[in-house]
Amino acid sequence: MPLSDFAVTSAHQDLAEQIKKSECVLFLGASVHAPPPADSPYKYPPEERPPTLGEALAAKLADDCGFSKELPDEKDLDLQRVSLLFETTKGRKMLVDSLDRHLRVGKKPSPALRMLAGLPFKIIVTTNYDHLLELALAGNGKEPTIRVYNPGSDQPTLDVTQDPSPEHPLVFKMHGDLDYRDSIVITDEDYIKFVQRMADKPAVHPVPSTVRYRMERWPTFFIGYSLKDYNLRLLFLTLRWRVDAADYPKSFSLDREPDRLILRVWQNSRGFVTFLTEDLWTLVPWLYKQIRGEEYPP
């Protein structure tokens, strides 16, 4: 959608204002690496893009581990299940080596990710394992504090000692980091353990207290996700379990075609989230211009 055709609503203005005040948590998923449309002024060549959907990454891992030979009757590839078979047949090291090859080697941040990294977010939560966000932040002159999910049940993920700022944001890698193999949440068993850990007491909670505190009070901007994902909705509610649903801070989800049932329940009925149905490559440049006062150069 060309920027000139963008119908700005009060929700768009509200989101931009919250980001401008640095009072919005950015929640970043893999689809932030989606390719720009053909008529976009921005370019993001295929060889620089990591897989943007779980199905695409699952297909690559399935080829690497011989999934179709092991389970020939399964046609629909589920990333968690493919990863579990990979780990049980070839080991964790080879699984992460394969992830590293597909997600890091030769990959670069998209212009959309670079734009988001240039906005004044103090807290960024991502389920991406790669380091493209860190590269985009460094490219904007920022020095983030990185915290990686700790799967150990007897100790918390480290928090920060100083309040985050736009120049020194806190980045929490909720599903792990490629450099810390045991931290990665990808198999069925990893997700079960992760959900169990989300119920841990504050002293050993896997989400840094600064992130939990702000997510209970600030709006959240989901980008690169579909809220049709059960795991994401569960995570969202778990992080706000101490907040009465009537007092939830506003949240926004960029989804060009939101699932109609999820939209009915989460937006129209419960008012948890406002869906913004623009293209990534339309909304993000608009936000950048609104907040920075200039267009991001192609």
Q: Read off the pLDDT of each residue in 44-67 and give the average, rounded to a whole number.
A: 90
- Residue 119's alpha-carbon distances to 7, 61, 245, in angstroms, are 22, 34, 29
22 backbone φψ class: left, alpha, beta (φ>0; ψ -120 to 50): left
Q: Of the given ranges (45-49, 57-61, 66-70, 153-157), which has the lowest mean pLDDT? A: 153-157
Shared-domain flag, residues 82 and 188: no
Q: Which of 50, 49, 72 is nearest to 62 (CA)?
A: 72
Q: Of the given ranges (57-61, 140-144, 247-251, 255-259), which has the lowest mean pLDDT? A: 247-251
Shared-domain flag, residues 97 and 135: no
**pLDDT tens digit string along 225-280?**
888 877 777 777 777 666 666 667 889 999 989 989 999 988 998 888 999 999 99
* Token pair listed for 97: 């080596």
**Helix-, strand-, coil-residue percentages of the chain, each rounded to 5:** 45, 10, 45
Shared-domain flag, residues 284 and 194: yes
Residue 120's domain spans which residues? Answer: 3-38+111-292
Shared-domain flag, residues 126 and 188: yes
Shared-domain flag, residues 29 and 86: no
pLDDT beyond 80 at 46: yes
pLDDT beyond 60 at 105: yes
Shared-domain flag, residues 143 and 239: yes
Q: What is the pTM of this model?
A: 0.92
The total of structural domains in the chain comes to 2
Residue 297 resides in a domain: no
Q: Read off the pLDDT of each residue in 82-92 and give the average, rounded to a whole number.
A: 95
**pLDDT tens digit string along 5-18?**
678 999 999 999 99
**pLDDT tens digit string along 156-195?**
888 998 999 999 999 999 999 999 989 999 998 999 898 8
* Rounded CA separation 13/7 (Å): 11
Shared-domain flag, residues 95 and 144: no
* Token pair listed for 123: 């807290």
Is residue 186 within 8 A of residue 79, CB to CB? The reply is yes
Phi/psi at 165 (5° precision): -140, 165
More confident residue, 265 or 133: 133
Q: Mean pLDDT score of the chain, rounded to an integer?
A: 90
Q: Tell me, what's the pLDDT at 2?
A: 47
Distance of CA 69 to the CA centre of its chain: 32
Q: Residue 247 belongs to a domain with what CATH number?
A: 3.40.50
